[in-house]
Amino acid sequence: MQQHVTASAALASRKTKGVDNTASPGWGELSAVNGGGWSEVPVKLPAQISASKEDKWRPMPPTTTKGTDQPAWGQEAREPNAATKEWAVPLVSKTWGEHTLFSSIGAWTGVDGRVNPTDQKPPFSSLGMKAAVTATTSESVPQPGTTELQWEANPSSSIDDAWSGINGISTADPSSDWNAPTEEWGNWLVEESVSTPQPEETATEVQKVSDEEKEKVDPGAQGSASGKSKKKKKKKKKGPKIQTDPPSIPICELFPSGVFSKGQECEYPTLQDGRTAAWRTTSEEKRVLDQASEEIWSDFRQAAEAHRQVRKYVMSWLKPGMSMIEICEKLEDCSRKLIKENRLHAGLAFPTGCSLNNCAAHYTPNAGDSTVLQYDDVCKIDFGTHINGRIIDCAFTVTFNPKYDKLIEAVKDATNTGIRNAGIDVRLCDVGEAIQEVMESYEVEIDGKTYQVKPIRNLNGHSIGQYRIHAGKTVPIVKGGEATKMEEGEVYAIETFGSTGKGVVHDDMDCSHYMKNFDVGHVPIRLPRAKHLLNVINENFGTLAFCRRWLDRLGESKYLMALKNLCDLGIVDPYPPLCDIKGSYTAQFEHTILLRPTCKEVVSRGDDY
């Protein structure tokens, strides 16, 4: 039975058996060397190297182009392309079993049908040949009656050996008809292993790494060789911004991620009927609701962070001898920078209150006020910030004489008591009762006279809405208030006022605070100046409180008559200073709390109070 042998096997037979290696005239190369056609001239190999005298070379079916896919084993081979005369892969119609394909060029099939493997793996990339099968065993593989050379039209990789020439074609004389030395051909007779060079990309990467190492070792060597070439310095990543002194960087720039510092988070108190709210912290439903309002909470936190930094800055320079106008304007200028004032989108929520002594609230100096802060004064600093109408209402009391310390302590403790007792489903009257109990437990001695600290009964905490400082609900600071309950999602200003006087305030002094009525509809205005002033108010303050100084700052003048007209029509409401009896002293502390679905957050809480 006739079998096929490879060209390499034929060459080995010539060398080992001493047979003349000169082959008969065979395949003749045409003028085109790279991919050129080969003339189909049949050739016979010497009988000594063939398993049978009738073995002959047979032309291989050509492939179409290098981009075409190879047919699978067991399929019919394609017809030769007469135009290109390229070599095609001959296909075997029999099953190969578990034999690995194309592992070595030295594997060949003998007459008896056994596959004889070899360990050599010489490259034939220059001719487009691929190694034959390496058999793991010497099982018999049925073969056709004639031997066929195994070629590969698309070599997978290019390997540089001694026999490759320009464009991968042998530099040997094509007319020699395979007379090149077998050692240079790289078949299995060569004992030296053929090393495969690394791809050019790997070498380039190694070169880049070595160059970088050289630059690290001697960065100035390259610069000394050529003055023109300069090594580019890598830009260092900038860390988070740090607030300046005095503060000038907006809070939104200090927190570029948009995640602002949270306030103090507390669990809700146990209700009077014994129900607890601890389940809210672990409830998945409440977590989802809390996350849904994260944008709202974030606005409050940004405004609260601005408030904390401003009041810290104020405490660093506030001292007796400063005029009240100077104090307010310096505070407000800093607030505008940190909150990054933008009309109704961000800014001050209401004028800075700096009520002194018996005046408990709603006092800020008008233009021309020459009041100066004294050492024995009790000053209530009450100012607010807002982001998108989310208001932070927070206040504290400043004293310089230690004789007021007990008064300050009483009011601060009462405020914290109100914060502890506030929560979802808590009745407002219960919060007021707890505040009064704590407040009245304190006594203060001033100038040799002892006073019981009294809560100011007609001043209250309040709920806060968007662009609405007083949203409807009031938090009393004495017992007997409303039985209305606090609800989930609401925002409250918990504030307490303590006094050494009667504990009741009344309107006094010139009015400085004004605010547009939140619920007012369309009201016809006749005075042109009043119409103009209302437009200014709508554009700059909306329904937030403002003061005369702010109108002066906007360039308005001679507006008192127009402002009075708006107040008479009910479009704008005046809020005059609220004072206890003369000679008394009042103190105030206030925080803003968020009744979130999962917990209570004292958003304006700071290290100071």
532 annotated ligand-binding residue: no
Of the candidates 307, 386, 462, 591, the residue annotated as catalytic is 462
Instruction: Find out whether 285 and 488 touch, Cβ atoms under 8 Å.
Output: no
Pull the structure tokens for residue 431: 């919060």
User: Which residues, in sequence order, are CB contacts of 175 under 8 Å at separation 6+?
Assistant: 28, 29
Q: Tell me, what amino acid is at 523?
A: V
- 382 an active-site residue? yes
- Strand (E) positions, 389-500? 390-399, 443-446, 449-452, 454-455, 461-464, 474-475, 491-499
362 marked as part of a ligand binding site: yes
492 bridge partner residues: 463, 593
What single letter denotes the amino acid at residue 269?
P
Confirm whether 490 is a catalytic residue: no
Pick the catalytic residue: 430, 590, 591, 601?
590
Please tell me which residue in 382, 430, 580, 601 is annotated as part of the active site.
382
Q: Counting every residue, how long is the chain?
A: 609
Catalytic residue among 55, 305, 377, 393: 393
590 is in an annotated binding site: yes
Q: Is 191 annotated as a binding residue?
A: no
Is residue 307 flagged as an active site residue?
A: no
Active-site residue (options: 495, 513, 580, 591): 495
Distance CA 309, CA 606 (A): 9
Q: Is 462 annotated as a binding residue?
A: yes
Q: Is 69 annotated as a binding residue?
A: no
DSSP codes joined into one string, 146-192 = S------SS-SS----TT--GGG--SS-GGGSS-S-HHHHT-TT--S
If 0-12 CB within 10 Å is exposed, 13-18 middle and 19+ buried, where does residue 466 land? middle
- Note if 470 is an active site residue: yes
Q: Identify whether 495 is a catalytic site residue.
A: yes
Provide the angle, in degrees to the nearest 10, between the axes of the packed helices 284-292 and 294-317.
70
Q: Is 495 annotated as a binding residue?
A: yes
End-to-end CA distance of the chain: 105
β-partners of residue 28 are 39
Cis peptide before 597 (omega within 30 of 0): no
User: Distance between CA 386 and CA 552 in Å, rounded?
Assistant: 22
Residues paired with residue 100 on neighbouring β-strands, in sequence order = 134
Task: Indicate if 192 belongs to the active site.
Answer: no
Distance CA 330, CA 22 (A): 107
Q: How far is CA 319 from the centre of its chain?
A: 44
Give me the catalytic one of 29, 184, 437, 470: 470
Is residue 250 within 8 Å of residue 339, measured between CB atoms?
Answer: yes
Question: 264-266 and 108-109: which strand pairing?
Answer: unpaired
Residues with a catalytic annotation lie at: 382, 393, 462, 470, 495, 590
- Pick out the residues of the known binding site: 362, 382, 393, 462, 470, 495, 590
- Pick out the residues of the known binding site for a divalent metal cation: 382, 393, 462, 495, 590
- Pick out the residues of the known binding site for substrate: 362, 470
